[in-house]
Structure formats: C-alpha cells, structure tokens
Structure 1
C-alpha cells in the first residue's frame, strides 16, 4: 500500500486487498494517508491507534451512561484502565495492529446506535453501516452482523421488514467481502472442530487480558483459564440476577452482547489458529486489545448489580453483593500486578536489529534482518511471498525514502 501510494498508482482494489484472512480496508487507508502526507510515518499511525482507542472509550462510557447516568463518572476510570491497558504492548507499537482498534470502535458504534434510538429503518441502516465498516476492518468484524441480529431482536425490532433489510445489508457486505477471496484451509484441521478444544481455547482467550506476560506460557494458560471461567460466571450470574429483579434488556443487552462478541471472536480464532499455535496461541498479545472488551462488560455488570442491590431497602442477594465485591477486588489486584510487570517490556525490536535495518541501504545485508521478522529468512517457507519479493519491496521502501528511511540522505 505504501509503495503503491508513493508510486502514484494506488487503486481502490489495493485498499480492499486481502491481508491474511481479513479485508483491512481502513488500516490500508491510514497507511496510504500516512505515506502521502508523512512518508509513511509509523509513529503517527501508532498515535492514531491511541485516538481510535480513545474514541472507543468514549462510546463505552456513553453506553454505560444510558443505563446509569448518576454513576457514569465512577466508571470512567476502570474503563480507561482497561481500554488503555499496557498488556497488548505489541498492538500499541505496531501500526498494522490498527485492525483491532478499528474493529472494536465500529462494533461499539453499532451497539450504541441500536441502544440510543428507537426501532426504525434509519437506526438499522446506520448500525448496518457500522457493521459493514467492522467487516472491512478485521475478519472478526464479520461477527458484527450476527451480534446485530441478536441486538435488534432484544431492542424491539419485531417487524419482518427489519430482518429482510438486515439480510440484504449483510448479503451485500459478504458478497463484496468474499469476491476474489483466497481461502486458506491449511490452518484448519479436524481437531480444531473439537468442541472441548474450542471451549478451552475460548476460556483461555477470554481470561488472557489480565494475565502476567512474565509468566511462562504453561502457567499463564492455566491462570487465564481460571480467570476466563470466573469472568464467564460473573457475566452469566449478574445478567440473570439483573433480569430477574426487573432490569430490561435495553439496560443489559449492551454488556451481554459485548461479551458475546469477544467469545465468538475467540471461537473463530481458535478454529483458525489452534492447529498452528496450540492453546498457547490464545494468550497472544495481539488479541488483547479485542478481548479486553469482555472485562469492560464484566466491570459494567458488577457495577450495575452492586448499584441495584444497594438501592433496594430489603437488601436482597447479600451473598451476590459480597461475592461481586470480592471478585472485583481480586480482578483489580490481578490486573494491577500484571500492569506493573508490563511497565518495562522487552523491546520488540532489538537495538542491533534496528541498527542493521538503518544500515541496509549501504550494506545490503539481509542476514541480520531476520531479527526484525522471520520472513527475511530465505530458508523459511511458511510465508506465501518469496524472500526475493520481500527484499525487492524493502529496496523500494528505501528508494522512495519511506518509514525508517524517510530522512535518509543516501
């Protein structure tokens, strides 16, 4: 995208080009703009990711305000801690990880649209536009259509024309998405459809945002599994209690659907990745921007339950009240401990590897670039693009003075 932009021959088809299993249209747009205006300044793209996270935070706070406006100011802090968590450090540093930030933002905008307006064709159209944007942000955005279907039912869309319109919007979106799509079945094996294996992956996936990256992988998987079970139980129990005491779906559905989106995303990732990475793949840091949304839902539901219990004179469900308080303290303690361990992360790119990359225009030495990315290893065949093509692309980046070479005099 950056090279085509620099050459002046970027097309709309390039922006829609498949990236792994996704159509990352919006990330491609940002790359094109960054290249045109800033010589592909990756730091600027990194800061843009922070802007996307901030916008997501504002929408989440707005969703809570719709339910409990008097307590919204209290929720700003825990929501901020989660959305701007340090655990997904790679996503904050790598510009291409904007795919997760775009997907999150468009999903919560879709939810906010359904929550904020009475049932009608215009809100449904707007929600469909956000679902379309999520679809072309990252592959898990496809799940937004399924969640939207559940959402419109819960929020009172009962006429058949709404569901016909949903089918038409989703059908058009999928037709464009899968036009010329390259299916890559190599990651999917019979074992990945084992329900027990997928369930285990999803639970670890859900629990991973609170785990400590300094742990060895085996220990971290166990801790994530325990936290995942705890989180799922908290969501289900609090949803059932709040519905039982008279809270409507208009107050609860946002958080249940937010949790559902993460769970479904974890299931899809498990089917596609388990055969390659095993259960350890569920704790990958690149997923943490997405699955942190589950814990936003957990915190919101705990707050709503505690507020409901405390405002009732008959003091119902005292056990549930104290259980939620204990869970909240435990989760906060685990989160802050893991955050402290994340304050001094290892550099994703060693200084010597950066020095090697900076010297590449003069040395033409690619052997040391393996430390930047394994695709620079000519003997590794796991990548569809050949080493020669990758090297030629790097030469073009140098020639057009993009990214690291923007200020180069050579």
Structure 2
C-alpha cells in the first residue's frame, strides 16, 4: 500500500510536466535555435556535419550534447522540435532514476519516501522554460552526467579505474554547458572529505581536472563582464535569490522571499552536513550526497560573477532551478540522515517538529510557484507559426518584425532579414521542423495570400510573448 501511494505521488509531477511540454513546446526554432542549431540541423540533414560543428563554442559554453541531439533528430525525424522537447522530459526522468539509485537501502522505507520530494524538485513546472525550449536541455545534461559520475564513484570498487570512469562523466558534464566544470569540484569535495582519503587519489583528480579545463578552454574566446560590477551586497542577494529560486515565481517582487529561502537553505545545509560529519563514522553512500549541494553553491557563485550585473531578478529565471534544486535535494537527504542518527532526546523531538512545520510551509510556496508556472504562455503562438510557414513564399517580414528577437538580434538590418529568409527557405526545402507537416498549421483566419499582422503595441499579446522571451533568454554568459 505504501509503495502504491509513493508511486502515485511520483507520477503527478511527471504527468503535469509532460502535459505542459506537449501543449507549449513550439514547432519552429527561435532564439539560439535559429541562430545556431539551425545550421547544425541543416548540415546533419545534408550529411556535411563535422565534429568541429558540435564542439564549436556557444557564447561562454560548449554545448556538445545539445547539438548532438539536434543533429540526430535532423537525420531521423526532420528535426521535430516537439520530440526534442519530450526528450528533455525524458532526461528529467532519467535524473530522478539516478537519484533513486544513489539512495541507500536501509531496513526501513525512508529511501522510498525521500524519492517523493526529490521527484518534485527534479520535475517541477517551475522549469517551464526548459520544458518549452528544448535548446535548454543542456542544463539537464549537466545534472545527468554528474549523477552518472556519482553513481560510478558509489558503485565501483576503489582505485584508478573508478577515477577514470568518473572523470569521463565529469568531462561529459563539462562539454554539456560551462556550468558542468563545477562537477569536478563536487566530486573533489567528496574525495577530500572522506576520512580514509588518499593523497594519491586527490592528486590524480586534480590533474584530471586541470586537463579537462585545458581541453575545454583550448581556442576559447572569453566573453564576460567585469566581475567587480555591482556592490558586494547586491552580489550576495543575487546568490541567495538563486538558491531560493525553486519556491517562488519569477519577478522582482519575489526577490526578498527567494533571498530568505536561499539563506535558510545555505545555513541549514551547512549545519546539517557539519553535524553529520561529526556525529558518526562516515558512510560512503551518505557522503556522496554532499556533492549536489556543493555543485549548487558553486553554480550560484558562478552565476553571481557572470550575471549579477543584470539585477537580482535575473537569478529567478526558470532554468536556474535545475541547479538550485540540487542544494535542496542534498539538504533533504542530510535532514533525513540526522533524524535517523540523532540520539532520542528533546532536541530530536524539536528537530522532527521543525522539519514538519518547514515542510508544510515550503510545500505551500512550491504549489504556488508551480501554479504560476503552469499559466506561463507558449513562447511561440499559433499565429506566429503560421506566419513562419508563409514567410518563404511571401517574404513578408511584417508579421515577424514585432518579434524580431526570436529570430535575429535587435540590431537587424536588410542583410540580416535576407539571411533569415534564406534560413527559413532552407528549412522548407529540406522539410525540417514545422515544414515536415503543414496540413494542421494554417488556420482560416490567416490565408497564405495575406499574412498581415498588426504591429504589436504595448500590452498586446505579442508584446507579452516578447516579455516572456526576454526573461527566458538562452544567451547565457
């Protein structure tokens, strides 16, 4: 009976995320997909794709596996973007399964019940930007490979072989997106904190880390902002807001709440793990769980250095929930461990009571933020998809001009418009994305001969979509 209840609770987030992705995932490329992924898809479809195309730098990152998915789908499904979005959901499910394998298997069923809050943090609607825009699957790939590294470290016998396998998975995380570099730090923290640590292992890991960084930054062009921009207080608020992201909506009005929850998570996580490391002999299966928290804190600091100049509201964009959730998952595991090993005293009873109260409050915040995320509109409207279909025939840019940032930068000119027209015609010629099946796209309200859409004004639905896209911009720096 308990197993059935837990399984039922696990299905709920998967159901809503799958439904949201199916309803809102666009059928046409936009933003970084139009500027970068489109070339990968065309080269792959034509059989001209080379390794360098997948390895090439994107902003301050290498997104090898995101491009590999695009290249594969271009060859097998005419670059079906809704299928690509469903693969993002599949990645989220895989990450949940990996967390399940990482859980220890004690005599009681604590591990089974721990899966429930973990599932709601791994598959939240708060990640609506990723469930819509398959280009952002790069962030899910980072967690995917880091968890594989942790599983290798946990399951394989100690020695150089396990370090080599773990390093391979960390390198895969590194070339998924730049944040993956933190996986080396997360694994390194485990090797240092274990009581029977070996200096040789730590030195080998440090050497492998340096080698990975060297490969990653070979022929790399750094594009960053001065990390000294902004005051120390602003940077601190940004980092804490980043960590409290899973339990609030996007928007400046939620910064104080997110800052509070971020500070709470950081302090509680530090105290819990400090207590665990002191209270009992370290269990290898338990120590593994400190790594997600280290990764999340590193991600908050990295985002603070590179993005805090924009403002603390930027720390609340949906894709960052992938990383901030890792701190909360690590915290949940630490609290569960303390509830098991703390002596049966009055302090333990207070700990249980505090956990129950805080869990209820956090659940209410979580539900509110996810309901708000469910209401997020599609990034691409059906009218815009229809305009995209007509564009190769008519060359009429008027219906796209209000949303130019979806396709080309704001500094558009005649040459960029011509380049856009060429790209869209390339898609149509190869029947990629929406051009593979056009029968269900053209509504009667927009005949092919007259693709006219009024110029968007402030407050119009079109401008609302622009606002959504600005908030979920994929140009990470």
Q: What's the TM-score, normalizing by structure 2? A: 0.77
Give ranges in structure 1 of 5+ residues lacking alignment: none
Distance 2:433 2:275 in 1: 53
**Residue 47 of structure 1 pairs with residue 86 of structure 2:** yes
Give the equivalent residue in structure 1 for 2:373.
Answer: 342
Aligned mates of 1:392, 1:188 — CA distance in 2? 37
Q: State the shift of 1:197 in Å.
A: 3.0
1:227 to 246, 249, 261: 261
Distance 1:295 1:388 in 2: 48
Distance 1:163 1:390, change over 3 A: farther
Q: Indicate if the aligned counterparts of 1:199 and 1:267 stay in contact, CA closer than 8 A.
A: no
Determine the structure 2 residue equivalent to 1:200. 237
- Cα distance in 2, alignment partners of residues 353 and 100 from structure 1: 27
Provide the rounded CA distance (Å) in 2 between the counterparts of 1:395 and 1:376.
Answer: 14
**Is the counterpart of residue 261 in structure 1 residue 261 in structure 2?**
no
Deviation sequence 1:255-280 (CA, Å, 0-9, x none): 332112111111111211122x2111
| Shift of residue 114, structure 1, vs aligned partner | 2.1
**Matching residue of 2:338:** 305
1:327 alignment counterpart: 358
- Residue in 1 that maps onto 2:399: 368
Who is 1:397 aligned against? 427
Partners in 2 of 1:399 and 1:336 — Cα distance? 45
Distance 1:378 1:233, change over 3 A: closer
Pairwise mapping of residues 90-109 of structure 1 onto structure 2 (< 5 A)? 90-109=129-148
Q: CA deviation at 1:363?
A: 2.3
Q: CA deviation at 1:355?
A: 2.2
Map 1:143-222 onto structure 2 (within 5 A). 143-155=182-194, 158-185=197-224, 187-191=225-229, 194-213=231-250, 217-222=251-256
Query: Which gives a bigger RCO, structure 1 or 2 (Cα 8 Å, sep 6+)?
Result: 2
Deviations 1:308-330 (Å, cap 9, x if unpaired)?
A: 34xx4445433333222221111
Confirm or deny: 8 A CA contact 2:66 2:176 kept in the other structure. Answer: yes
Indicate the SS of the match to 2:109: helix
1:210 Cα shift? 0.9
Summarize the Cα distance change of 1:330–1:153 in structure 2 as closer, same or farther, 3 Å threshold.
same
Residues 126-145 of structure 1 aligned to structure 2 (within 5 Å): 126-145=165-184
Alpha-carbon distance between aligned partners in 2 of 1:68 and 1:369, rounded to the nearest angstrom: 60
Question: Residue 392 and residue 128 in structure 1: after superposition, are their counterparts in 2 closer, same or farther (change >3 A)?
Answer: same
Q: Aligned partners of 2:129, 2:167: CA distance in 1, in Å?
A: 30
In structure 2, distance between residues paired with 1:201 and 1:291: 12
- SS of match in other structure, 1:241: helix
Cα distance, 1:86–1:198 mapped onto 2, change above 3 Å:
same
The residue number in structure 2 matching 1:110 is 149
Comparing 106-115 with 364-373, greater Cα deviation is found at: 364-373
How far has the Cα of 1:305 moved from its partner? 2.5
Higher alpha-carbon deviation: 312-321 or 86-95: 312-321
Contact 1:206 1:266 in 2 (8 A): yes
Secondary structure of 1:54's counterpart equals helix
Deviation per CA, 1:29-59: give whole Å up to 9, x if none: 1111100000011111111111111111111
**Contact kept? 1:305, 1:321, Cα under 8 Å:** no
**Most deviating of 387-396 and 357-366:** 387-396
Following the alignment from structure 1 to structure 2, what is the Cα–Cα distance between the partners of residues 379 and 124? 47
Task: Report the secondary structure of 2:311's partner residue.
Answer: helix
- Greater mean alpha carbon deviation, residues 340-349 or residues 398-407: 340-349
Greater Cα offset, 281-290 or 10-19:
281-290
The corresponding residue for 2:466 is none
Using the alignment, how far apart are the partners of 1:179 and 1:340 within structure 2?
44
Whether contact under 8 Å (1:52, 1:102) holds in the other structure is: yes
Aligned pairs, number: 400
Deviates more, 1:279-288 or 1:234-243: 234-243
Q: 1:284: which partner in 2?
A: 317
Structure 2 spans left out of the alignment, 5+ residues = 1-39, 440-447, 449-477
Contact 1:16–1:24, Cα closer than 8 Å, also in 2: yes
Inter-CA distance 113–154: structure 2 relative to 1 (3 Å threshold): farther
Label 1:370 to 1:300 Cα distance change in 2 as closer, same or farther (>3 A): farther
SS at match of 1:259: helix
